[in-house]
Amino acid sequence: MKKRTFWQEWQKIILFVGFAISCLIVLYAFDVIGKIDIEAASDYVRELGIWGMLLYVIVYTIRPLFFFPATLLTLFGGYTFGPFLGTALDIVGAGSGAVLAFLVARYLGREKIEKFVKGKKIERFDQSIQNNGFIVVLYLRLIPLIPFDSINYSLGLSSIKLKSYMAATYLGIIPGAFVLNYIGSSLRTMDSKLWIAVALYGVMVLLPFLVKKFKGTTQIHLEKEPVK
């Protein structure tokens, strides 16, 4: 087998880094970043009233098609609409976006989506979901540090039913949506609420792992316990 050259081995990474650097140069040259006024954008959306809410939900729904970071949009929602209304709109938008990604994956099929998602990841989902799809998806939604979009597309290629996927998704994103919207809303005042929000986020990050560890420990204990 012919040995791959350095360019062949690193071509995609070099091109990606080069593209990213070029974008940063353009943004810096035209001072695009400096012209972005988050507070002005937030005020504009709020002034639109119900149409601003609808716009936010629509943008959040189509967001997975462009892989725009969901966390940033959620924080903006909390900053704009407050912790409670922002959470409600986030659940609708994020949930609808997750369903859209799921349906896109089902429509396009495994071959095309596998270009972006590794096949082994899809196979692992299939094996887990065959047992209890609702619980698996619900658990995945409670983990804030996993790639939201790739999970959605992967689940679309799995054997889970759309009804179970939707129920687990809309239910599972509630805690994360509230915490991030709470953080976003507290950024306006930068008061003690921000530290409370950060603490809640820390608990949310640790909770799924603690639940999994407790479940594993309990299972081991039950297996070791003699049958009477």
Q: What is the pLDDT of residue 44?
A: 87
Cβ 171 vs Cβ 84: under 8 Å: no
Helical residues (DSSP H) of the chain, grouped into ranges:
6-29, 32-35, 38-47, 50-62, 70-81, 83-108, 110-113, 119-142, 148-156, 162-172, 174-186, 193-224
Instruction: Based on DSSP, count helices (H) and strands (E) in the chain, helices before strands.
Output: 12, 0
* Model confidence pLDDT, tens digit, residues 54-102: 999 999 998 888 778 888 889 899 999 988 999 999 999 999 999 999 9
Tokens at 123, concatenated: 């196979």
* Model confidence pLDDT, tens digit, residues 2-61: 555 555 555 554 564 566 566 656 655 655 555 567 788 888 888 999 999 999 999 999
Q: Is the pLDDT of residue 225 over 50?
A: no
* Model confidence pLDDT, tens digit, residues 183-209: 888 877 765 566 666 666 666 666 666
- Residue tagged 């972005």 (tokens): 36
Q: What is the pLDDT of residue 226?
A: 45
* Model confidence pLDDT, tens digit, residues 121-154: 666 666 767 777 888 888 888 776 677 888 888 8
Cβ 201 vs Cβ 180: under 8 Å: yes
Cα Rg for the chain, rounded, in angstroms? 21
Domains of the chain, residue spans: 36-220
Cβ 155 vs Cβ 102: under 8 Å: yes
Q: Is the pLDDT of residue 173 over 80?
A: yes
Q: What is the pLDDT of residue 105?
A: 84
Biggest CA-to-CA distance, the chain: 76
Q: What is the pLDDT of residue 14?
A: 57
- pTM across the whole model: 0.67
| Neighbour tally for 139: CB within 10 Å | 17
Q: What is the pLDDT of residue 28?
A: 59
> Which residues have CB under 8 Å from 58's CB, separation 6+?
93
Rounded distance between C-alpha atoms, residue 192 and residue 186, angstroms: 8
Rounded distance between C-alpha atoms, residue 178 and residue 200, angstroms: 10
